[in-house]
């Protein structure tokens, strides 16, 4: 259906509504709003298609990545060094065919390596709490029963650990993004 067909159908619909007793002053704002909504829908649908195409491309790229988790050591190599070494010697060796093209049954789906360092000293709970100071907290708690004055002492042992969160906790406490 081309533009002329659409215009003819809209004109026919408008004429039929007028012949049924509707006034142009009530119909014209409705038709203008419908036209505005149609244009807005067409522009957002193309933006959605572009966004989905970018998302699919990103997902395909992620499928072609190799992930390597390396335990952090202060004297060990950095993850960037591991990535360079992998790219220069294994994935793209100088003067040789790239690794992802030497597959016997076709191309191998590996384009890059992502090396991630894991830091075990920041995990909770700590593996060796004896390395960290232990703090003793004492509080008194009264009975929840009415008319009783009985109190008991409660001891709470806390381990003080250096800790950094792996991700943000803002979503738990309702902080604005």
pLDDT of residue 88: 85
Q: What is the DSSP string of 29-81?
A: HHHHHHHHHHHHHHHHHHHHHHHHHHHHHHHHHHHTEEEEEEE--TTSPPHHH
Q: Answer for the pair 121, 132: CB distance below 8 angstroms, yes or no.
A: no
Q: What is the pTM of this model?
A: 0.38
What pLDDT, in 10s, does the model give residues 55-73?
999 888 888 887 777 777 7
Backbone torsion region of residue 91, taken as left when φ is above 0, otherwise alpha when ψ lies between -120 and 50, otherwise beta = alpha
Q: Cis link prior to 62 (omega < 30° from 0)? A: no
pLDDT digit string, tens, across residues 80-125: 888 888 888 888 888 888 877 877 767 777 888 787 777 765 555 5
Q: How far apart are CA 120 and CA 128, in angstroms?
A: 11
pLDDT band at 130 (very low <50, low <70, confident <90, very high): very low
């Amino acid at each position: 259906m081309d533009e002329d067909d659409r215009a003819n159908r809209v004109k026919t619909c408008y004429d039929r509504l007028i012949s049924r007793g509707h006034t142009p002053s009530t119909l014209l704002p409705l038709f203008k709003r419908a036209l505005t909504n149609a244009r807005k829908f067409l522009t957002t649908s193309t933006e959605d298609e572009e966004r989905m195409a970018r998302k699919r491309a990103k997902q395909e790229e992620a499928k072609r990545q190799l992930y390597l988790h390396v335990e952090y050591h202060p004297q060990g190599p950095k993850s960037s060094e591991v990535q360079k070494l992998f790219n220069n010697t294994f994935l793209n060796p100088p003067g040789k065919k790239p690794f992802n093209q030497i597959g016997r049954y076709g191309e191998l789906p590996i384009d890059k390596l992502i090396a991630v360092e894991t830091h075990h000293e920041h995990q909770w709970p700590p593996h060796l709490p004896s390395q960290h100071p232990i703090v003793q907290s004492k509080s008194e708690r009264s009975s929840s029963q009415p008319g009783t004055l009985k109190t008991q002492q409660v001891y709470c042992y806390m381990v003080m650990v250096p800790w950094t969160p792996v991700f943000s906790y803002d979503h738990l406490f309702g902080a604005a993004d």
